[in-house]
Chain A
Amino acid sequence: MERSFRSDLIRLVTFLGGVYFFLEFILPVSVLESVGVEALHEDISYGFIVFSSMAMGLGLINLFLVHGSRIIFQRKDWMYSFVLLIGLVCMMSSTVMDWRGGQGVADKARPFEILREFSDVIERDSTASREDVPPLEIRTEALRDATFARIAELRANIDQKTLLTFSDQEELYPLGETYIENLREILSGTEQAARDVKVGDFSSSQALAASLAQVSGFIRRIEQLNYDHSLTKKTYDFLYQGLFVSLGSAMFSLLGVYIAAAAYRAFRIRSFESSLMMVAAVLVMLGQIPFYVYISEDLPAVRQWLMEVPNSAAFRAIRIGAAIAGLVMAFRMWLSIESDSFSKERRG
């Protein structure tokens, strides 16, 4: 009785999982709008993504279980498992630290970005005649005061913090000094722009907003330069560029060698079909290399025709057939016909 309830519940949940996208596709937009689903579609789709992303940890847990137990019990090839887990932990922690480092760069420029945003909001609210916000005079005064305060704070910190960090890396010192000189000039300009802001004169507040954007952009550049030369970033680049990218490219290019070896077996002219395949492959390959001019000037055009006409038409036919089969499979899965053994409880 309980087992039957469980499998029925699983079937029901499986069905409910597919209902939303099915209805969202077949119902007219007017119906979706009237029930309010159209406006929420993006959020609902993200809900599905959030749900699916929760499975992410399963892979990690399984890796730790399988390789961790191999290390603990020192089973065959446990050293490779150890290398795998070390690589995983190092890359994970390095990526998290790089993420935090990138956020740190953005956070440094954030106060000036907020002020720029505030300047835009003042203009927007005033144009819309909003009454639930403080009066325009007070807001303009607050913008001006906050700008002065931020500039003073930054000026005090430029020498103490930024320059000090640059001085740790001697090769960056001249560049850092130039950047900071430029920033000082921009800060003076911003200060002047803040002084010139007049209540109700939005062109003056727009000039201030442009100046604030320039300051935040410059702070980002300085902090990014600083961060790019930090140990965190160097470690991340070492793991990402030195290992992840290199190993990935090497693995995929290794397949090229095996494909070429397989070509020998596949292209041995044993039948008319294999000859057709070989001729098409050779023409496509020759049409893509720079030496085609020594064979025929028309090879690239032949290659293009092969790709666009017979290849495109035949591949489309195969895709249509596969998509119909996929659709049938999807229906069977959705209605729990295909996954019968999955939804039933195991016996014994």
Chain B
Amino acid sequence: MSANAWITATVIVGGISTLAVYSFLIKENPFYRFFEHLFIGIAAGFLPVLTLKSLLWPRVFEPMLGLDIVQFPDGTFSGEYHSSILLYFFPMTFGMLYYCIYSKRFGWLAKLAIGFALGAQGGLAFKGFFAEMLPQLGSSFKPLVVIDQGGHALIWQSLENCFFVFTLLAVMYYFFFSFKRDGKVGEVVAMSGRWLMMVCFGAFFGSTVMARLALLVERVQFLLIDWYQALSNILA
């Protein structure tokens, strides 16, 4: 098969699979389910090899086997073999405990591995919270009066900052359920927080729809231009 025939076959199959997925809009059908299962199978087959190829092999297995060290023509080597790399056997062996889940007798050992993973996630979440959220929290409290280098107040920017800080506080206040809200002011602030949150959700909704529609446009363009062209070539 020539290179062009392969490209045509790839485009034709791409178009058929796209139409199969869109056939779900009418109703669920065997054509859709066939490609749905094929997609799951392909995705499940692709990702483990990708992890092995881009992470485990170059970072762990290659140095472990000493394959990253080359011999130069004068007999010297490009680097030394660090036996400390063999310490990776410990996490690997410990990670193998996951597979005890299939044994009735040793199933509890899998809980050690799962527990360790959960604990590590907990530790990382602690680190992640302070490393990510604290700078955001700090930068959220913007100056309420912005003054330029000439000493003049920038009205629009100041109003914008006031509105930003008010939105932040109002939305946070809306989520405080730890104590009962008394008073008119509290109610008004909470209500404003609710409204501003609706604006946020609307804006999110709008940008999500646009992102998905961009994909839809790309697929429709593919069908109308590339796929149609390939199909016409075959029929001609």
Contact = CB atoms under 8 A, between A and B. Distances in A.
B72 A342 contact: no
Contact of A280 (B14, B84, B203): B203
Nearest to A288: B210
Chain A residues touching B, range: 35 or more
B202 A242 contact: no
A256 B21 CA distance: 13
Contacts of B212: 252-253, 255-256, 259
A91 B40 CA distance: 11
Dominant SS among interface residues on chain A: helix
Contact of A263 (B76, B84, B133, B205): B205
Contacts of B111: 6, 10, 342-343
Interface string A153-197: 000000000000000010100000000000000000000000000
A293 interface: no
B143 interface: no
Chain B residues touching A, range: 35 or more
Interface of B: 1-3, 6, 9-11, 13-15, 17-18, 21-22, 24-25, 33-46, 48-51, 53, 55-56, 59-60, 70, 72-76, 78, 84, 87-88, 90-92, 94-96, 98-99, 101-102, 108, 111-127, 129-133, 136-137, 140, 160, 163-165, 167-172, 175, 193-213, 215-216, 218-219, 222
**Cβ-closest 8 pairs across A and B:** A54-B95, A17-B119, A87-B41, A256-B212, A280-B202, A334-B122, A284-B206, A18-B123
A281 B73 CA distance: 67
Interface of A: 6, 9-11, 13-22, 24-25, 43, 46-61, 63, 77, 80-81, 83-92, 95-96, 99, 110, 114-115, 117-118, 121, 133-134, 138-139, 142-143, 145-146, 169, 171, 229, 234, 237-257, 259-260, 263, 266, 272-274, 276-285, 288-289, 306-307, 309-321, 323-324, 326-327, 329-331, 333-336, 339, 342-343, 345
Contacts of A77: 33
B226 to A, nearest CB: 10
Nearest to A54: B95
A171 B41 contact: no
Given A52-B95, A242-B11, A316-B136, A311 B199 contact: yes
B136 to A, nearest CB: 6
Contacts of A83: 34, 37-38, 41
B49 A95 contact: yes
A18 B87 contact: no
Nearest to B21: A250
B196 A314 contact: yes
24 contacts: A16-B119, A17-B119, A52-B117, A54-B113, A59-B44, A84-B40, A90-B42, A95-B53, A142-B74, A238-B10, A250-B18, A253-B216, A253-B219, A254-B24, A256-B211, A273-B195, A280-B202, A283-B206, A284-B207, A317-B168, A317-B172, A318-B200, A320-B172, A333-B122
